[in-house]
Amino acid sequence: MIAILKNHLLRRLVHGLLFACLYSISTSLFADSLLSQKEVLISVLKPPSPVSTLQGELLVYELHIVNNTDKTLQLGLIEIMDEANKPITSYSGTKLQQNSFAYENNKRLEDKNRILKKGMGAFVTIWLSQPMFTHVPKSLNHDIWFVEYSTEKGESTTYPIEYTLSVLDEKPVVLGNPLKGTQWVASAALSPTSYHRLTILPIEGKFYLAQRYAIDWMQICADGKSVHGDLHKNENWNGFGDEIYAVADGIVSKVHDNVKENIPPTLPVPQLPLNDIGGNHVIIQIQQNGKTYYVLNAHMQPGSIRVKEGSQVKKGQVIGLLGNTGNSSAPHLHLHVCDANDPLKCEGVPFVLEKANLIGNVDEIVADYGIWTPIKPLPKKNTKQLVPLDNQVFYFSNQPPNKCP
């Protein structure tokens, strides 16, 4: 125990000095004392649970940090370790800036220095990819480093705080295919910088990330384009009007209709009320792994919804048609799974596709204009149950896109 404590203290000292070098801090006082979790509040929106990718197991979560002291603190370094304190990764400098944001009074700040005055907070979006056949941690230890500046004395003090997080031992939700056909791009799907992943919303005094694992399903042609002809006409876009299928047996828990179609490639103006963000949508309550989940199918065509609240649905049953309503700039199906019966006031949970084939990848050029690079095929189709990642391309059935030249 003594050796472990000494090594831990040495590691703290080394990283404190490294932190000082990284930020060009002229430090006249180095404090190895911890901030308490009453002074700096640390939490997560939802503890992570592992999901499978082609590269191995993935853990994603968001650290929520709130300064509850009278000190002005700069967030500078986050070290993440497994339960045995073996280092996994760290966030500092550009990596920290690109995967975090600060806020004040629930408004996001553009300041990149992550300087937090009393009452201000920050979110850090964490992405931990564990290679295949390696150990998935049961818990994650964090050393989070702050610097307090004294402008009067020209001094700065480095403070660490420790935070431990348990990894959930939960299986991902397994879904059937929501559409038919092939060359469906998982646009804005899970990635470190996907706008879905970063859409942390304050709703009724609490923060939520419903879209943590969300996907915008958009269909492309062999040339990488979703639309041919006048892009301002929804009917020229692949997928527009396609049938949407229930991805599991369940009960329809919410239906929202009568939101008008948008004209691509622009978002509706003025800004929509919160209940219209998902456009015309259906939420299906399902049971898996002894738990209740809610599957959102959003942006459907007005008047196309074929189910009613309270009705039972079977996997593969048609529930509506793919459209371009709500907070949408082009025809697509927005799909995510949550822990509550609301499009946004809930926490997104991981899911995998039961039978979809991963056939390749594309690079986004301008998704709002329906432009990607041509598909880069995988050496062979992958049929494992994987969480869809950003810009992966999937085959659902042997039905080619019907609007390709």
Burial of 11 (0-12, 13-18, 19+ CB in 10 A): middle
- Decide: residue 296, CB within 10 A, 0-12 exposed, 13-18 middle, 19+ buried: buried
Tell me the DSSP string of 185-219.
EEET-BSTT-HHHH--EEETTEEE-TTTT-EEEEE
- Of all residues in the chain, the percent with pLDDT exceeding 70 is 90
Does 95 have pLDDT greater than 70?
A: yes
User: How many CA atoms are closer than 13 Å to the CA of 185, on its beta-carbon side?
Assistant: 29
Share of the chain above pLDDT 90, in %: 79
C-alpha closest to that of 197 among 218, 185, 214? 214
Structure tokens, 355: 């039978």
Enumerate domains of the chain plus CATH numbers.
40-166 (2.60.40), 173-395 (2.70.70.10)
Closest by alpha carbon to 403, among 280, 255, 275, 234?
234
What confidence score (pLDDT) does residue 203 get?
A: 96
> What pLDDT was estimated at residue 150?
65
Q: Could you give the CA distance from residue 295 to residue 320 in angstroms, rounded to a whole number?
A: 14
Angle at 64 between CA 63 and CA 65, to 5 degrees: 115
pLDDT of residue 11: 33
Q: CA 225: distance to chain centroid?
A: 25
Residue at 116: amino acid letter: L
Q: How far apart are CA 376 and CA 361, in angstroms?
A: 5
Distances (CA, A) of 268 to 35, 120, 217, 328: 46, 32, 20, 8
Least confident of 126-140, 144-158, 265-279: 144-158
Q: What is the token pair recorded at 4? A: 């472990």
**What would the two tokens of residue 176 be?**
């059937």
The answer, yes or no, to whether residue 318 has pLDDT greater than 60, is yes
384 bridge partner residues: none
Q: Buried b vs exposed e over 160-180: b needs ≥16 C-beta within 10 Å?
A: bbebebebbebebbbbbbbbe
Strand (E) positions, 68-154? 73-81, 87-92, 100-104, 107-108, 115-116, 121-131, 139-150
CA pair distance 52, 336, nearest whole angstrom = 17
β-strand pairing of 115-116 with 121-131: unpaired
User: Which pLDDT score is estimated for 17?
Assistant: 33
> Which of residues 159 and 177 earns the better pLDDT score?
177
User: What tens digit of pLDDT does each residue of 272-305 get?
Assistant: 999 999 999 999 999 999 999 999 999 999 999 9
Query: Is beta strand 100-104 parallel, antiparallel or unpaired with respect to 56-67?
Result: unpaired
For 243-269, the pLDDT digits (tens) are 999 999 999 999 999 999 999 999 998
pLDDT band at 19 (very low <50, low <70, confident <90, very high): very low
What's the whole-model pTM score? 0.89
pLDDT of residue 130: 86
- How far apart CA 146 and CA 346 sit, in angstroms, is 30
Which tens digits make up the pLDDT trace of 359-396? 999 999 999 999 999 999 998 777 778 899 999 999 99
User: Residues 167, 49: contact at Cβ < 8 Å?
Assistant: yes
Q: Label the pairing between strands 243-245 and 318-321.
A: antiparallel
- Residues 48 and 51: their CA atoms lie apart, in Å, by 9
> pLDDT digits over 167-215, tens only?
999 999 999 999 999 999 999 999 999 999 999 999 999 999 999 999 9
Give pLDDT, residue 355: 84
What pLDDT, in 10s, does the model give residues 208-248? Answer: 999 999 999 999 999 999 999 999 999 999 999 999 999 99
